[in-house]
């Protein structure tokens, strides 16, 4: 009817289409016939779907299904493949016919017939509809029955569609719920259920012994069992929602142990013969589990898993409905074999899962009336355990997809579901029976079973690998089974066998591989490791001996002696070897050229073997060869992601200089230089380079006028290919070997004939190397722009290259006897059987411009192929290595242009935007094919799931070449595997699964052990030691630690709960200060340092009540002794009685152990000491007794530190870095000053400071007070420095004077450096601004002003600016400055040559006026000519302003001396006159000027009036002042 099908129109199933009925349709060409869509709709009974419902079409569809299903090919002479193909095609066609039946409406004859058969007793004959001989029609009728029944009780939606949407052609509405329920009940009452059960019992749909089980019979049987399981059980209205789920397939194994089982109805139970029903159900399940042909194509919607599901569902309901089922079922002789078939041998994973779910419900289900299936548990468990040995010996059959990710539950027998079921049954065993013990229970000895499983675990082989591993299901199952057994607290757990098992499991988890035993450990995948960890937890749970044993093994892993120091933010999983099995090279800045070259060389097996086995004959290259061998060994054996080639760059030289890692180089130049050096290293390497890379090129000149030929030979390693104006590599090779005619003025002079002749010149390939390298000339020099440019045009190259057309014997036809140049040739050059076919094995791509960019490579693996025989290509991009699709080589390497869609907002359209690719091939590597081998073919090696093939000491064979041995020397193997061991240990520890295990070890397991107080203390101390070592040694170094806060809280709780734990913690760090130095000082993470500092303070606070009286021993013991004689006390003995004070002394000693390199991290260190001092007077006195002030000041002054520090680098050699002053950061030392100030004040008694001689000498000793001077200069916490000065100078005026002298000396000493003088002025401000305070403080303001003007001579501007700020805050300074104007105003306002100083002096005079409005108005005035605003001053301010103004008027007589242009310039008096102009607030100020008019005139005439200079600012400012003062005062103009 329609013109095109929906598929032809491009529509997809489920696609949403929006149709606009108002859209204008373009006119069609008139042909006399309109389209089908314009015609009238046909009648309903003429539609194709309605026609198919009529006879005989409808019956013919079933006949066609029957013929396709029973297709007999025995009479045809077909091979197995042809037979299988025809059978598969028949199945697909039969499925298409069935789908057609599902699309058309439901057949009315069958639908009405089934309705009437249930509603009318006289017509209740169901045999005409349910005919087992026709499974297709039977299944069709069963679906109609399902449709007519109550849909609400169905939990599983039918997978096969039955056209329910189209069935409304006869009925517009669905039947009412009353009708549905009535029909359902009548169908059962009229014998419909009984008839279905008879069909089931007849076995007509089951597998026949002489034939293969038909797919349609199987599917129909599944549907029949489905309806039986639905109709035969009790009504769901009387059951809970969980019972309604019994017929549905469970979706998840992790489900509740409580599952309700519906019982069968009495009507069906009365007709059942248990033995026969069990026999049929077991036969059905067994036949469904094991297919006769594993290659058969399954095209249906219902599979074998559904058959097993519904068969077991019916069996379970029958077992819970009749008590006689259990003895019959459990006494079956083939029960164990049947269980093995379903649970272990079934190749389909879904079948095994359904079987295990069914047996789980059979044993652990519960009927609505409370009946359980516990009686089935022991017989089934006993039968399953008979095959425990078989299950544990099964191998995983999981396969991998294209992304190297394993598929779970692949086809084939498996043990995963077996172990799941056995574990659930073992867990459900009731160890304490309520009332009776059954005979079966006594036959299952859990201790014996635990011993057996433990032995299996111990003897289990090594299946899992480190890369792309397939999980060992049997090992995982054994571990889970052991956990389930140990949950019953068997005697095995605490026995010696249990402890031996614990050690074995630890080996399975933590055993480290070595060069001999590379397969260790046994558990490598996350699932198996998690299972092993669960077993360790269960073994240690409730057993003190096992916990102590496990604790000792775990503690060894977190001791700093067994591993090198961890870096910060460490996460080894980010640095693990690539899944493809290859190792990258770290880019050190601009070393991508070196990385790509090395990877190409390494991926050539012959080169790798020769380099690893080479012995250097020249000392000049011995270091280079050693580093190259180390690099290759690392690439082959390492478990890390990438190798750091810094040591190679140090020894390798180009142009007699080591490689500069920040300088970009050309990859071809480096490649040529490298192989040249390899030739010089040893004879073997020279032969290798010659055989692999060296070719011979001949330059031939053939004379056309004489019979002579001139021929020269040269070697080449790379072939330069032109890219510009070339399409592909063949055109470039044509350019290399192009014929050039020498004629005319360019004729060739024949050396033999001694005359000019015409000749043809051509270059040819005489001998081709094994590895043919091409250098595409992508860089050109533009003579117009005089710049280097990159050619990004399209340039293609094939995967298989034929170069036979470019060799000499095919290009040149000549007689060797007539050659002019007699050249002794290598006989290997003239091999007639030489192959000229080459396969592409590698491409180096350059992305970027001619000025800079990046290199990366695509390289073919020549040792391994994929399972389908295809070549494997890999992308080597610095440290990243991953598999690459060779089909993308053209897109990635050919260059050219690419087009993308860009949205144009102006046209509201997507426009095509083309631009040149910046990535294109720069070097090509081709390998010669062996004679007889096809291009692009290489020997197929078995594809190993573990990519460690490239990391083994392996032997491989390439074509006809001898086997290659990638054998490492003893030293190299030991070196690389030592690194691997450390890395793999770190990888096992730094993972979230292990962190969770440690949480159970530290937080959960101790709570399950003994309740005895003594044992609890012992366990708690062990737990505290473990968590402390784990957190401080491992966890804080991890990059991913989301639960860090919880760990710190747990650690704090553990250390504070028992004082013994806290004492151990402090004693541990007293003996070894590794943790304080690493965490509190060297850690770059401030949050970590703060948490550790808080932890220390909390531990000390918790121990204070018990230890505070020991802080001052032996001083307190001496004071309390009976002897009155005072004995000299060694300061080193003070505080040795308490772990707290010993730890504090150790912390102070850290200052002398080279911490200056980390001085920027010392904030938390000094904060810790300060927090300790804040705890009380006893702590402060102790710190004073051990000379804390002296230690900190000496550290700061650098008296006990060396002039250099050692910084450990990744290289073997240590770098020495000298310390400079800028290494100190003032912010990190602020708390040090705070602590010193607090300790100084705490030492005071009455009016004296009881400081030791060393403390006083450090604080205030030395010439110029060096400590105070340096800390002020470094601007370290000036506020606390001020407090320190106050504490030192109370009742000590002499020291106050010295300090002020030192401050002003510092100001003078720093000269013109404003930033260095600034801290001294800040301190002066703090000293003079302080008001009040304790008695005894000296008057710093007075001392400051006594020295102020002396210093002002050196830094006038800064002093005047500072004093301007102080006069507004300090009345004493204000009064002093105002009263001494005679001493400073003229000097700084007039005599000073610096205009900024004169401006600062003017600002100071303005600041003397106590009026904010007056000061602000002066700051805001843009020029002296700006109009004056009315300012209201108080009487006090007005008096002071008049005093200042009067003083300025008095200076008029001396100001004329500074008007000399030749000496002072044109703007010397600008500030002076501007200030006086600003003071003219009213008439009074103008009248004050009258006595000084003569002085003003003397200044103006003649100094400023002549000569007339238009830019004389002095004259301008004077005239402005004169103008302002004459306004409203005309008598001021009488001088004119």
Point out the residues that are catalytic.
Answer: 592, 854
In 3D, which of 726, 743, 744 has the Cα closest to residue 735? 726
Crossing angle for the helix pair 1293-1309 and 1314-1329, nearest 10 degrees? 160
For residue 141, how many other CB atoms are within 10 A of its CB? 21
Q: What are the tokens at 740?
A: 């050039």
Can you point out the beta strands (E) in 929-1045? 955-956, 964-965
CA distance 827 to 831: 8
- Assign 30 to helix, strand or coil: coil
Question: How many residues can be counted in the chain?
Answer: 1536
Q: Is the peptide bond before 1502 cis (omega within 30 degrees of 0)?
A: yes
β-pairing verdict for 880-884 and 897-904: unpaired
The rounded distance, in Å, linking the Cα atoms of 733 and 722 is: 8
Phi and psi (nearest 5°) for 842? -170, 150
Closest CA to 312 of 271, 236, 259: 259
Measured distance CA(1118)–CA(590) in Å, rounded: 69
How many separate helices (H) and strands (E) can be counted in the chain? 64, 28
* Residues 6 or more apart in contact with residue 183 via CB below 8 angstroms: 115, 118, 119, 148, 149, 175
Contact between 877 and 866 (Cβ < 8 Å): no
| DSSP secondary structure string for all residues of 877-909 | ETTEEEEE-GGGHHHHHS--EEEEEEEETTTTE
Alpha-carbon dihedral angle through residues 1061, 1066, 1070, 1071, given to the nearest 10 degrees: 10
Q: How many other CB atoms are found less than 10 A from the CB of residue 405?
A: 10
* Inter-residue long-range contacts of 1082-1091, CB under 8 Å, 24+ positions, other chains counted: 1082/1158, 1082/1161, 1083/568, 1083/1036, 1083/1161, 1084/568, 1084/1161, 1085/568, 1085/569, 1085/1036, 1086/1161, 1086/1163, 1086/1164, 1088/1036, 1089/1161, 1089/1163, 1089/1164, 1090/1164, 1091/1044, 1091/1048
Q: What is the DSSP string of 386-409?
A: TTHHHHHTPPP---B-TTSPBPSS
Determine the Cα–Cα distance for residues 68 and 89; give it in Å rounded to an integer. Answer: 9
Integer CA distances (angstroms), 216 to 67, 95, 222, in order: 12, 10, 10
Give 366's contacts (C-beta < 8 A, 6+ positions apart): 258, 259, 260, 261, 372, 373
1044-1057 helix and 1086-1107 helix, angle to the nearest 10 degrees: 10
Q: What are phi and psi of 1078, to 5 degrees?
A: -70, -40
Per-residue burial over 747-779, b if 16 or more Cβ lie within 10 Å, else e, is bbebeeeeeebbbbbbbbbbbbbbbbbbbbbbe
> How many CA atoms lie within 13 Å of 246's alpha carbon, on the beta-carbon side?
37
CB-CB contact of 539 with 498 (8 Å):
yes
DSSP 495-537: SHHHHHHHHHHHHHHHPPP-SS-TT--S--SHHHHHHHHHHHH
How far is 804 from 1078, CA to CA, in rounded Å? 67
DSSP string, 1067-1081: HHHHH--HHIIIIII
């Amino acid at each position: 009817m329609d013109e095109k099908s929906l598929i032809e129109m491009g529509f997809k199933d489920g696609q949403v289409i929006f149709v606009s009925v108002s859209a204008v349709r373009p006119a069609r060409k008139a042909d006399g016939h309109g389209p089908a869509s314009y015609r009238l709709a046909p009648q309903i009974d003429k539609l194709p779907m309605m026609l198919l419902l009529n006879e005989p079409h409808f019956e013919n569809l079933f006949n066609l299904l029957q013929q396709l299903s029973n297709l007999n090919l025995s009479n045809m002479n077909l091979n197995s493949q042809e037979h299988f193909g025809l059978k598969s095609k028949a199945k697909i066609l039969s499925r298409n016919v069935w789908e057609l039946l599902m699309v058309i409406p439901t057949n009315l004859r069958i639908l009405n017939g089934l309705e009437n058969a249930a509603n009318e007793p006289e017509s209740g004959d169901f045999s005409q509809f349910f005919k087992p001989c026709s499974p297709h029609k039977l299944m069709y009728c069963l679906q109609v029955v399902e449709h007519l029944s109550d849909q609400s009780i169905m939990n599983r939606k039918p997978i096969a569609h039955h056209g329910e949407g189209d069935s409304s052609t006869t009925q517009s509405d669905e039947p009412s719920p009353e009708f549905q329920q009535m029909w359902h009940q009548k169908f059962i009452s009229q014998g419909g259920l009984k008839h279905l059960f008879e069909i089931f019992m007849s076995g007509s749909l089951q597998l026949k012994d002489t034939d293969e089980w038909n797919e349609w019979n199987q599917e129909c049987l599944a549907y029949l069992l489905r309806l039986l399981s639905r109709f035969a059980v009790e009504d769901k209205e009387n059951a809970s929602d969980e019972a309604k789920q019994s017929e549905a397939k469970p979706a998840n194994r992790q489900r509740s142990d409580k599952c309700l089982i519906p019982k069968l109805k009495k009507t069906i139970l009365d007709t059942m013969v248990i033995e026969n029903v069990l026999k049929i159900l077991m036969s059905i399940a067994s036949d469904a589990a094991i297919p006769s042909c594993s290659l058969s194509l399954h095209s249906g919607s219902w599979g074998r898993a559904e058959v097993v599901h519904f068969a077991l569902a019916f069996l379970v309901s029958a077992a819970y409905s009749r008590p006689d089922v259990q003895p019959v079922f459990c006494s079956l002789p083939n029960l164990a074999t049947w269980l093995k078939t379903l649970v272990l041998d079934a190749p389909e994973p879904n079948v095994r899962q359904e079987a295990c779910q069914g047996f789980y419900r059979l044993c652990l289900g519960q009927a609505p009336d409370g009946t359980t299936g516990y009686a089935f548990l022991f017989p089934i468990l006993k039968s399953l355990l008979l095959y425990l040995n078989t299950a544990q010996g099964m191998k995983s059959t999981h396969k991998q997809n294209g992304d190297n990710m394993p598929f779970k539950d692949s086809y084939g027998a498996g043990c995963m579901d077996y172990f799941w079921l056995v574990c659930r049954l073992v867990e459900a065993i009731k160890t304490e029976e309520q009332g009776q013990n059954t005979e079966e229970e006594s036959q299952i000895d859990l201790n014996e079973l635990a011993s057996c499983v433990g032995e299996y675990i111990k003897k289990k082989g090594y299946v899992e690998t480190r890369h792309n591993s397939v999980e060992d299901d049997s090992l995982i199952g054994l571990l889970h089974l052991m956990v389930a057994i140990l949950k019953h607290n068997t005697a095995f757990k605490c026995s010696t066998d249990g402890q031996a098992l614990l050690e074995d499991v630890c080996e399975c988890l933590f055993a480290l591989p070595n060069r001999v035993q590379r397969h260790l450990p046994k558990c490598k995948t996350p699932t198996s490791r998690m299972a092993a960890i669960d077993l360790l937890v269960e073994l240690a749970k409730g057993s003190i001996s096992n916990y102590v044993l496990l604790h000792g093994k775990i503690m060894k892993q977190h001791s700093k002696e067994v591993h090198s120091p961890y870096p910060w933010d460490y996460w080894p999983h980010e640095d693990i070897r690539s899944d493809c099995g290859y190792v990258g090279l770290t880019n050190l800045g601009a070393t991508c050229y070196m990385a790509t070259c090395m990877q190409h060389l390494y991926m050539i097996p012959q080169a790798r073997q020769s380099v690893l086995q080479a012995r250097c004959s020249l000392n000049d290259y011995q270091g280079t060869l050693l580093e190259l061998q180390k690099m290759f060994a690392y690439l082959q054996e390492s478990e890390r992601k990438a190798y750091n080639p810094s040591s190679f760059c140090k020894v390798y030289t180009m142009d007699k200089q080591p490689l500069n890692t920040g300088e970009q180089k050309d990859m071809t130049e480096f490649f040529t230089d490298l192989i040249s050096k390899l030739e010089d290293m040893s004879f073997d390497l020279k032969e290798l380079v010659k055989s692999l890379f060296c070719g011979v090129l001949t330059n031939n000149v053939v004379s056309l006028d004489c019979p002579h030929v001139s021929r020269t030979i040269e070697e080449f390693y790379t072939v330069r290919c032109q890219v510009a104006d070339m399409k592909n590599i063949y055109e470039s090779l044509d350019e290399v070997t192009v014929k050039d005619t020498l004629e005319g003025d360019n004729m060739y002079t024949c050396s033999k004939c001694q005359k000019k002749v015409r000749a043809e010149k051509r270059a040819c390939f005489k001998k081709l190397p094994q590895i043919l390298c091409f250098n595409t000339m992508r860089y050109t020099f533009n003579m117009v722009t005089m710049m280097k440019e990159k050619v990004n045009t399209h340039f293609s190259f094939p995967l298989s290259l034929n170069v036979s057309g470019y060799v000499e014997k095919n290009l040149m036809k000549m007689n060797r006897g007539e050659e002019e140049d007699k050249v002794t040739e290598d006989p290997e050059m003239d091999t007639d059987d030489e192959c000229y076919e080459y396969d592409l094995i590698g491409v180096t791509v350059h992305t970027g411009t001619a000025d800079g960019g990046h290199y990366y490579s695509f390289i073919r693996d020549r040792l391994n192929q994929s399972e389908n025989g295809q070549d494997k290509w890999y992308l080597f991009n610095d440290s990243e290595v991953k598999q690459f699709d060779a089909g993308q080589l053209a897109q990635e390497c050919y260059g050219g242009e690419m087009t993308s869609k860009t949205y144009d907002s102006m046209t509201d359209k997507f426009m095509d935007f083309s631009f040149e690719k910046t990535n294109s091939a720069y070097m090509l590597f081709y390998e010669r094919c062996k004679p007889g081998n096809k291009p692009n073919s290489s020997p197929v090696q078995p594809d190993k799931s573990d990519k460690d093939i490239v990391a083994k000491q392996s032997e491989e064979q390439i074509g006809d070449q001898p086997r290659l041995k990638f054998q490492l020397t003893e030293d190299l193997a030991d070196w690389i595997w030592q690194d691997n061991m450390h890395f793999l240990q770190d990888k096992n520890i730094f993972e979230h699964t292990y962190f969770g295990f440690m949480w159970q070890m530290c937080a959960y397991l101790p709570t399950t052990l003994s309740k005895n107080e003594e044992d609890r203390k012992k366990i708690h101390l062990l737990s505290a030691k473990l968590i402390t070592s784990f957190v401080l040694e491992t966890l804080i170094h991890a990059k991913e630690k989301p639960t860090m806060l919880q760990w710190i809280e747990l650690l704090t709780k553990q250390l504070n709960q028992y004082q013994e734990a806290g004492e151990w913690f402090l004693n541990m760090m007293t003996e070894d200060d590794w943790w304080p130095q690493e965490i509190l000082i060297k850690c770059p993470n401030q949050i970590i340092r703060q948490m550790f500092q808080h932890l220390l303070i909390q531990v000390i606070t918790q121990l204070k009540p018990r230890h505070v009286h020991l802080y001052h021993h032996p001083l307190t013991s001496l004071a309390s002794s009976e002897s009155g004689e005072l004995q000299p006390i060694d300061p080193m003995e003070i505080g040795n009685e308490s772990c707290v004070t010993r730890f504090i002394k150790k912390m102070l000693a850290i200052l002398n152990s080279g911490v200056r390199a980390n001085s920027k991290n010392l904030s938390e260190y000094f904060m810790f000491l300060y927090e300790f001092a804040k705890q009380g007077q006893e702590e402060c006195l102790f710190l004073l007794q051990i000379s804390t002030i002296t230690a900190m000041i000496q550290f700061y002054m650098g008296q006990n530190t060396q002039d250099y520090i050692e910084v450990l680098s990744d290289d073997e050699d240590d770098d020495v870095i000298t310390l400079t002053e800028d290494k100190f950061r003032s912010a990190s030392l602020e708390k040090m000053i705070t602590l010193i100030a607090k300790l100084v004040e705490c030492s005071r008694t009455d009016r004296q400071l009881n400081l030791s001689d060393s403390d006083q000498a450090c604080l205030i000793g030395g010439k110029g007070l060096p400590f105070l001077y340096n800390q002020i200069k470094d601007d370290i916490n000036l506020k606390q420095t001020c407090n320190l000065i106050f504490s030192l100078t109370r009742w000590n005026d002499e020291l106050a004077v010295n300090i002020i002298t030192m401050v002003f000396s510092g100001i003078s000493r720093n000269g013109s450096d404003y930033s260095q003088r600034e801290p001294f002025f800040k301190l002066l401000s703090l000293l003079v601004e302080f008001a009040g305070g304790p008695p005894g403080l000296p008057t710093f303001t007075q001392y400051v002003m006594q020295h102020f003007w002396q210093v002002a001579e050196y830094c006038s501007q800064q002093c005047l600016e500072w004093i301007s700020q102080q006069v507004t805050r300090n009345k004493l300074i204000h009064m002093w400055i105002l009263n001494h104007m005679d001493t400073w105003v003229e000097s700084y306002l007039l005599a000073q040559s610096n205009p900024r100083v004169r401006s600062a002096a003017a600002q100071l005079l303005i600041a003397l006026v106590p009026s904010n409005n007056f000061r602000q108005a002066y700051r805001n005035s843009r020029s002296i000519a700006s109009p004056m605003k009315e300012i209201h001053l108080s009487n006090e301010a007005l008096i002071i302003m008049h005093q200042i103004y009067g003083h300025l008027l008095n200076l008029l007589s001396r100001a004329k001396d500074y008007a000399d242009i030749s000496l002072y310039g044109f703007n010397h008096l600008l500030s002076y006159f501007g200030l006086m102009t600003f003071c003219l607030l009213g008439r009074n100020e103008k009248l004050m000027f009258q006595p000084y008019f003569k002085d003003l005139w003397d200044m103006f005439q003649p100094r400023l009036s002549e000569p007339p200079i238009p830019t004389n600012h002095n004259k301008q400012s004077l005239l402005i002042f004169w103008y302002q003062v004459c306004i409203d005062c005309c008598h001021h103009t009488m001088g004119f």
